[in-house]
Structure 1
Amino acid sequence: MPVYAPNRPTAVPAPPSPVRRLRAAASRRVRPGPDDREVLWLYVLTRVGIWTTAGAVRWLFPAGGDRTLRPGSLLSPWEQWDWWHYLHIAQDGYFPAGAGPWTAGWDNREAFLPGFPLTLRAVHAVVPHWAAAGALISFVAGGVAVLALARIARRQLPHAEAGRRTVLFLLISPCAVFLAAGYTEALFLALALPAWLAAQRRNWPAAAVLACLACSVRATGLFLVAALALRFVLDARGRRDWRAAPWLVLPALAPAAYGWFLHARTGDWMAWKHAQERGWYRDFHAPWEAWSHTWDAAFQHTQPTGYALMWQAELLAMLAGLALAVLLVRRRQWPEALYLALTLWALGTSYWYTSIPRSTLLWWPLWIALAGWSLRRPRVRTVYLCVAGPLSTLVAITFLTGRWAG
């Protein structure tokens, strides 16, 4: 017969330690919830769509012309433009066999920061095909980015659809093809958006580390750091918060290390900037001069029609950025306004505008603002999808066929 001991004291579990509570909270933040799974499902569906478009491009626009009997390889549509710079850096480094800016026909590869090429080289150790490695980086990074974007949107917009709607607007945006290409946009967002999310939670060490990595991928990371610093100043309360201020110096290590590397090999601390000037006319011009030069390229019939159309898109993207900056200032979203203002200043003070449509992918306040507008006025969503969807396909085909797409 069983023996009962009714008077035996019952053991009371000890309360969890503060460290365990923090770990549990972090686990809840990282673990995907139902809303996150919906966002990932939407992300996968749009990846299927863009890769279907790339597959069709192989057959409709083969490299050998209309008389070609065989399409290009599966990944050939993605090997366009800047991809070759990243590939050559990953394969050979920045100054192979002593070549450099002093060499005739130099490709100015030092204009590209090392974050993406280093990641590409690391992934290539596992994935033998270079283009497949680049696509895998963007696929994984894009998934991380949309999860972080959805969480930022849910913190800002009091609506159950906020996260999914914001991610939808990003993934259907006109230049969304670059989130799937072996380019820097997806990787940068995968670092910058979690950094911003960490700052919203006042986790400044995590924000600083992620921002440092973002600075190694794109120069836009410096504008992110400025916005994070402003957010810190606005949010800091008391000595306990200000003790985290030294972390904000950490992101400066990435550009400083790259500048030191270039100086050691070229003797030029500004080698990155000078490469931008030589290869992409990114020397300083007054904003009105940059607008005038871009307007002439777009409408004065001085450029082939395909390029002229892209410069028209550059002008529209600049106007959209200015409108967004005004909106952010009116809403007193000062850190986001600073991030956008610095971005527009950098892009709007070259000889002419270059890559502003692509840069809209990095303007997360834009997609949150559009989502909020559409939640108040449902017709906005319909209009956006009807206009942005075809434009997204058009830009994708333009890029995947080797034409300039911003």
Structure 2
Amino acid sequence: MTDSTPAAPAQARKARSRPTRARRWPAPHGLPAFATGLPERLLARGGGRAVVQAWLLSRGLICLVALLLALTQQRTLTSMVSNWDVQHFSQLAQGGYLSAPNLMAFFPGLPGLLALGLQLGIPVAVSGVVLSTIGSAFAAAALARLGGQWAAIAWLFAPTAVFTTVPYTESLFCAAAFWAWDRARSDRWLAAACLTALACTLRVSGLFLIGALFVMIITTRKIGWSARLRRTALLIIPASVLAAFVIFLYLLTGSWTAWFAAQESGWARGFTWPWQSFLNTLPAIEPGAYADHPGWAEVFRFEMASMALGVVVTVWCLVRRLWAEASWVAVQVLAFSMSYWFFSVNRAVLLWFPLWLMVASWGTWQPRRAALAIMHRVLVVTAFTLSVLIMLWWCWLFFTGHWAS
């Protein structure tokens, strides 16, 4: 004891003399590189009030567009929120999978909830809006835990945020998937598996979520293979949900590929080479394309931009060794690139939580030079303003029945 005592002060002085480094997000034991790949400024807890205010303001602006259309064009709530896929969800809720062609392309989670609402006397338009609005609150809360308040705020004001307020699956899926990721990151794998199973009732994207969580398991450091096997075994829970849906469709139609056949028949989802899909999309973005359909060409241009953004996010994750997050985005980009052309990608960006972490990281960057800091602040304000304006335009597109991706 006496021999080691004099060394303690010297060691303390040596520790104090070491240069300090910027702190990173502390990773709980057994978590992947994602937990240490982002600066602490981005992940500081708190800011809950700002997220709540952003949720209220963003939902309020969307409601304002609907109110203005109701006053100026005498549109009803039902007519504004019941366009496009909402019609399919409504048919499923009322008559089941055999009530109309190609309904097998949709997962049963949302239609089941809408059907329950109908049993209680609640119209699809009302129950769907309520479910999506609540789902957006839970999704924003999870995203704030994953990436800080600015990630959640950016998501709430995303250009396609209207789809988180109408009877679509994006809001509920994001709530389940984002919380599943948060639970997995916190080493609560049973909860993560159950939430992933819930996500699997809503969209085929649940399959990609299972795959990304598996990547998280195999890239996690400082745990043994027995722990990896236990976590992987829990993923059987959500995988069973997907298997049950496939079996259900087989018993209903006699085809093991009923879901894919419906996607291919109704939405040209197939196996097209990505470069051919890109070439097929080019005519749709040319000036004058679809002149008799306002907004179509613009939406296709955004589809192109969304695909490019997906590639950027994937690279951003790979550079930071966020392997699971990279796989989550990359597999979706690949899937969308294999359709006849690029479409529905604009809605999928809502699911890409690494995108909103990237946006928040850029938005909270603090340049040291004053001139660069001013320029950065101007760019951030401009980008946010444009996002809000595009969000309002997208609300108008959807509420008036124009194609909105």
Deviations 1:238-264 (A, max 9, x none): 234543331011111121111111111
Work out the CA distance in 1 between the residues paired with 2:121 and 2:183.
31
Cross-structure match for 1:205? 190
1:51 is aligned to 2:52: no
CA shift at 1:120, angstroms?
1.6
Map 1:16-55 to 2 at 5 A: 35-55=47-67
Cross-structure match for 2:394? 395
Which of these residues, 349, 352, 355, is aligned with residue 338 of structure 2? 349
Deviations 1:72-113 (A, max 9, x none): 2234211110001001101111114xxxxxxxxx53111111
Work out the CA distance in 2 between the residues paired with 1:297 and 1:339.
28
Conserved? CA contact 2:250–2:258, under 8 Å: yes
Structure 2 residues not aligned, in runs of 5+: 1-44, 367-375
Work out the CA distance in 2 between the residues paired with 1:39 and 1:313.
26
Amino acid at match of 1:284: F
Deviations 1:203-222 (A, max 9, x none): 11111111111111011111
Work out the CA distance in 2 between the residues paired with 1:133 and 1:90.
11
Work out the CA distance in 2 between the residues paired with 1:82 and 1:316.
23
Give aligned-pair identity as a percent. Answer: 34
Map 1:265-284 to 2 at 5 A: 265-284=252-271
RMSD: 1.7
Deviations 1:306-337 (A, max 9, x none): 32221111111111111111111111110010
Work out the CA distance in 2 between the residues paired with 1:351 and 1:254.
28
1:142 is aligned to 2:136: yes
Amino acid at match of 1:383: T
Structure 1 window deviating more from structure 2 (244-253 vs 85-94): it is 244-253
Structure 1 residues not aligned, in runs of 5+: 1-32, 63-70, 97-105, 154-162
Conserved? CA contact 1:211–1:221, under 8 Å: yes
Cross-structure match for 2:16? none
Amino acid at match of 1:175: T
Which of these residues, 262, 277, 282, is aligned with residue 290 of structure 1? 277
Work out the CA distance in 2 between the residues paired with 1:150 and 1:34.
9
Q: Secondary structure at the match of 1:85?
A: helix
Structure 1 window deviating more from structure 2 (295-304 vs 176-185): it is 295-304
Work out the CA distance in 2 between the residues paired with 1:226 and 1:57.
42
Conserved? CA contact 2:77–2:125, under 8 Å: no
Work out the CA distance in 2 between the residues paired with 1:356 and 1:175.
10
CA shift at 1:168, angstroms?
1.5
Amino acid at match of 1:170: W
Task: Quickly say closer, same or farther: Cα 1:34–1:301, change in 2 above 3 A.
Answer: closer
Cross-structure match for 1:113? 107
Cross-structure match for 2:245? 258
Task: Quickly say closer, same or farther: Cα 1:282–1:243, change in 2 above 3 A.
Answer: closer
Q: Secondary structure at the match of 2:272?
A: coil
**TM-score under structure 2 length normalisation:** 0.82
Map 1:136-285 to 2 at 5 A: 136-153=130-147, 163-235=148-220, 237-238=223-224, 239-240=226-227, 242-285=229-272
Conserved? CA contact 1:120–1:137, under 8 Å: no
1:86 is aligned to 2:95: no
Conserved? CA contact 1:91–1:121, under 8 Å: yes
1:335 is aligned to 2:329: no
Cross-structure match for 1:382? 381
User: How many residues align structurally?
Assistant: 347
Task: Quickly say closer, same or farther: Cα 1:44–1:124, change in 2 above 3 A.
Answer: farther
Cross-structure match for 2:404? 405
